[in-house]
Chain A
Amino acid sequence: MIPPGETRKLLTRFFRSWRLRGLNMHRRISRCLVLLGFSISLLARAQGPPQSGGDFSNNPQPNALPSGVILLKGAWSSASDSVTPLPEGGRVAGSVYSNQYLGLTYALSRDWTEKYSGPPPSANGYYVLAQIRPAEKFKGTSRGIILIAAQDLFFTLTPAGNALELTNYSKDALSPDYKVEQPPALVRIGSHSFVRFDYVSPVAELHWHVLATQIRCHMVQFVFTSRDTKLMESLIQEMGKMTLPAEAGPISGRGGGEVPVCIKDYAQGENVLERIDPVIAERHFNPVPVRIIIDKEGKVKHVHFLSAFPDQAKAITDALFQWRFRPYLRDGRRVEVETGVMFGRAPRRPTSSSAEAVNE
């Protein structure tokens, strides 16, 4: 389907080329006819049933669909606008992983690369941000893998309110396949603080070193896996060069600058002045975790679906933009708030922790 934005871009490009080139009248009329035909076909596309030859085709040389592309997505991440940064919006470019939402940049070691992108966020708020490994041209003798991941603390299935608690929970839940080498402990790498947790698989002779911090109610995790602990230590020391918000930290870390305050369950109780429930026609039985940013006036400014079917996303977005909230005050000033709302079928959670994910 041609998305509305794409159609607009195509038409804008068309008119711009017409204006710039100063076409003669004959060509203008021809183009008008083409445009008319294009518009009619778009109208037909929008209003009629899909044009189709069904299961049959006699064309031996049609345009082929691209290979290795996911064209039909199920529940997927999406957002109400394409400008506001998203956690999954980070990219590796020029040997640097940058994530505007988290305020994070991480320079890859020489000849390390991201071979494959990760999956979309999970329905319980788990993000694979980057998967880094030695490139084909890597000449070193030791190999390793770096996973940069994030867990949205609003939607975690575990009873944890911050990165330290979540790491402690992970240690307690560690499978018998592994042995703890260093229990979770607070450390500083360069100017940044993390919780560090090391474990080993004796049978595989592989080590995992995990460093986690917290930004905007997400646990951001760097997971190093290798047989070579020296390599891992050197990679960890290189983390000192990365940029993170100064406010990041494993217990009450938050985003830097003017990012919204993140508060779990802000969209509940007396904070909600007006609420319109979405009408979702089709039942999917899936959890639909949503992050929203509420502006200083108490209106929803941005909606981010971690996982939703398109019809769910549309209905929920339409409803959320009608919600009104009590503006949040910090030091007597109104500030923007970021919170989470779970629609659809919420997954079962174990007993909740005493701590809540609040950056205040």
Chain B
Amino acid sequence: MKTIEFAWVYALLVALFFPGMAFAQTDPGVRSTTGVNAGQPLASVTANANDLAFFQAGLEQFNEHQTVKGDNPGLGPRFNLDSCGACHSQPAPGGTSPASLIFPNVGSNPQSQVIASGLVSGSTNTIPFFVVANGPVREARFPFFFNANGTANINAPNGGVEDLFTVTGRADAGACTLQQPSFTAARAANNIIFRIPTPTFGTGLMANIDDSTLLANHTTQATNRLGIGGTFNHNGNDGTISRYGWKAQNKSLMIFAGEAYNVEMGISNELFTQDRPLPGEDQLGSGLPANCLNLAGTGYPEDITHSDGTDAHTVTSDTALFSVFMQFLDQPTPSATVPGGAASISRGRALFSAVGCAVCHTPSLTTQPSHLTAGLGDATANLFSDIEIHHMGATLADNVSQGGAGGDQFRTAPLWGLGQRIFFLHDGRATDLLAAIEAHEGNGGEANIVEAIFDQLLTPGQQQDMLNFLRSL
């Protein structure tokens, strides 16, 4: 009898709450039942032994850990981490910020482990407040230089990367003594912003989209009735459209690789040939102290093309190998059925276009013929980006200017591989797709109308279809 009563109560509760449960839209989370769907070379690369060898050599270098001296020299004197692959690892090498608790369980934020692993000295470095084990890998920037009294000087824009760690205290760092930037004071002055690593899957395809294709797409979208403008960031030297980085500030993968090697790891190379001081160390006229220069003992640049190499990949510089690796990385493979089933994903894709997301997140663009490998030529790049920079408004503004991009302008983030990403937006502030979408609205932003249509006018079921579609990518 008691069992029957229980059943009735249970049924009543289900009846009361089921509708809410059925229609409360939720982010399905990182797609974990379809395997890792990114990180493979293009099929045309796999089919060519020489290209594949280059790709593998690039992958090896990408994952290699650098030291100040020794076999892989050049690290520091300031750096954010010691390997490309440590930051770009979710869900596979080339990707973005990892986590240990979320598929495919790559590991804890490696920046949180640098003292424990002995990469930096705990007596001379601390883990900054914004680096936590289950949070994203981050780089930090101070939008403005400090005044002598510790306030931010809004007449002196900074915006350069403030490396988190120094080699000071390491056995191989000699007498080099450097202080970490004032992260805690920067927080008190509200003068600090963050960036997370951009995934590099499919970036060879992005490199091979001609400017004319991008301009034609811009013109096609210009009659939108959704409040969206958009423009391009341009390379300061030749004036062509630049496309890499959160503000599309970098022209090519080679420059992207060379700059990251220099800025994130402190390794000088053939594109960025000096050890890098902090922005303020140069601004105040000091540069790096003499005893922090040439720590590798190799002279400059630390990464070079090896004329004494014996084959293509022992001759090639690390920077060029990184570039080859990224060029040859295929675009992620979306799922047709997960999450939510094929019908939901299909509806979500149609809704994504209908409500206007696709005006900026252009589903696909066609590449031009490629001299590198057949897979990059005349291909459909399903990038979900127009590679334009858009005003995202005050909610997302970071007050950092890069090239032609102002403080609130960001490149439309490519969405391919979104289904297996953990952290969203330029600073990794969101782990929930709904929160990421919500952050698209704010004073001065171009996405307000589209966000409002999603938020106010779609039914919960339609919203769920869109979330399923996004997590299928």
Interface residues in chain A, defined as those with a beta carbon under 8 Å from any beta carbon in chain B:
1, 45, 50-76, 115-124, 126, 128, 131, 133-134, 143-145, 147, 149, 156-158, 166, 169-170, 173, 175, 177-178, 201, 203-204, 206, 208, 210, 221, 223, 225-227, 283-287, 307, 309, 345, 347-350
Contact with A along B209-235 (1 / 0, CB 8 A): 000000100111011011101110010
Contacts known (A62-B149, A74-B401, A204-B462); A157 close to B222, Cβ less than 8 A:
yes
A212 — nearest CB in chain B belongs to which residue? B225
Give B420-473 interface residues, CB cut-off 8 Å to A.
Answer: 441-446, 448-449, 452-453, 456-458, 462
Contacts known (A57-B150, A226-B457); A350 close to B219, Cβ less than 8 A:
yes
A118 — nearest CB in chain B belongs to which residue? B227
Interface residues in chain B, defined as those with a beta carbon under 8 Å from any beta carbon in chain A:
142-159, 162, 179, 181-182, 184-186, 188-191, 215, 218-220, 222-223, 225-227, 229-231, 234, 236, 239, 278-281, 283-284, 347, 350-351, 353-355, 390-391, 393-395, 397, 399-401, 404-409, 441-446, 448-449, 452-453, 456-458, 462
Q: Which of B144, B162, B406 has the most CB of A within 10 A?
A: B406
Query: Considering the chains assembled together, what is the distance between the CA atoms of A287 and B229 in angstroms?
Result: 13
B157 and A223 contacting across the interface, CB-CB below 8 Å: no
Of B143, B280, B354, B453, the contact of A54 (CB 8 Å cutoff): B280
A128 and B147 contacting across the interface, CB-CB below 8 Å: no
Query: Considering the chains assembled together, what is the distance between the CA atoms of A54 and B405 in angstroms?
Result: 23
Of A57, A173, A223, the contact of B186 (CB 8 Å cutoff): A57
B445 and A64 contacting across the interface, CB-CB below 8 Å: no
With a cutoff of 8 Å between Cβ atoms, the chain B residues found around residue A55 in the complex are: 142, 145-146, 158, 162, 181-182, 278-281
Shortest CB-to-CB span from B193 to chain A, Å, is: 11
Of B146, B219, B350, the contact of A56 (CB 8 Å cutoff): B146
Give 7 nearest A-B pairs by CB, closest first: A54-B280, A74-B406, A59-B150, A122-B229, A55-B280, A72-B407, A285-B234
A-B contact pairs, 25 of them (CB 8 A): A50-B156, A52-B284, A61-B188, A62-B188, A64-B191, A65-B190, A66-B190, A70-B394, A70-B397, A71-B399, A73-B407, A74-B406, A116-B444, A116-B448, A117-B443, A118-B448, A119-B390, A122-B229, A124-B229, A143-B456, A147-B449, A169-B223, A203-B351, A223-B225, A223-B226
Of A57, A345, A347, A349, the contact of B189 (CB 8 Å cutoff): A57
Shortest CB-to-CB span from A218 to chain B, Å, is: 15
A58 and B185 contacting across the interface, CB-CB below 8 Å: yes
With a cutoff of 8 Å between Cβ atoms, the chain B residues found around residue A347 in the complex are: 215, 218-219
Shortest CB-to-CB span from B248 to chain A, Å, is: 12
A221 — nearest CB in chain B belongs to which residue? B225
With a cutoff of 8 Å between Cβ atoms, the chain A residues found around residue B442 in the complex are: 68, 116
Q: Which of B229, B400, B408 has the most CB of A within 10 A?
A: B229
Q: Which of A57, A116, A126, A131 has the most CB of B within 10 A?
A: A57
Shortest CB-to-CB span from A158 to chain B, Å, is: 6
Of A52, A126, A203, the contact of B347 (CB 8 Å cutoff): A203
Shortest CB-to-CB span from A287 to chain B, Å, is: 8
- The tally of CB-CB contacts under 8 A between chains A and B is 261
Contacts known (A70-B397, A74-B406, A147-B226); A64 close to B147, Cβ less than 8 A:
no
| Interface residue SS majority, chain A | loop
Of B150, B157, B219, the contact of A58 (CB 8 Å cutoff): B150
Contacts known (A203-B354, A286-B231); A62 close to B181, Cβ less than 8 A:
no
Contacts known (A56-B280, A204-B458); A283 close to B236, Cβ less than 8 A:
yes
Query: Considering the chains assembled together, what is the distance between the CA atoms of A121 and B186 in angstroms?
Result: 33
B283 — nearest CB in chain A belongs to which residue? A54
Shortest CB-to-CB span from B136 to chain A, Å, is: 20
B151 and A120 contacting across the interface, CB-CB below 8 Å: no
With a cutoff of 8 Å between Cβ atoms, the chain B residues found around residue A283 in the complex are: 236, 239
Shortest CB-to-CB span from A127 to chain B, Å, is: 9
A121 — nearest CB in chain B belongs to which residue? B229
Shortest CB-to-CB span from A226 to chain B, Å, is: 7
B151 and A63 contacting across the interface, CB-CB below 8 Å: yes
Query: Considering the chains assembled together, what is the distance between the CA atoms of A56 and B149 in angstroms?
Result: 10
A206 and B354 contacting across the interface, CB-CB below 8 Å: yes
A2 — nearest CB in chain B belongs to which residue? B155
A75 and B231 contacting across the interface, CB-CB below 8 Å: yes
Shortest CB-to-CB span from A326 to chain B, Å, is: 33
With a cutoff of 8 Å between Cβ atoms, the chain B residues found around residue A116 in the complex are: 393, 441-445, 448
A286 — nearest CB in chain B belongs to which residue? B404
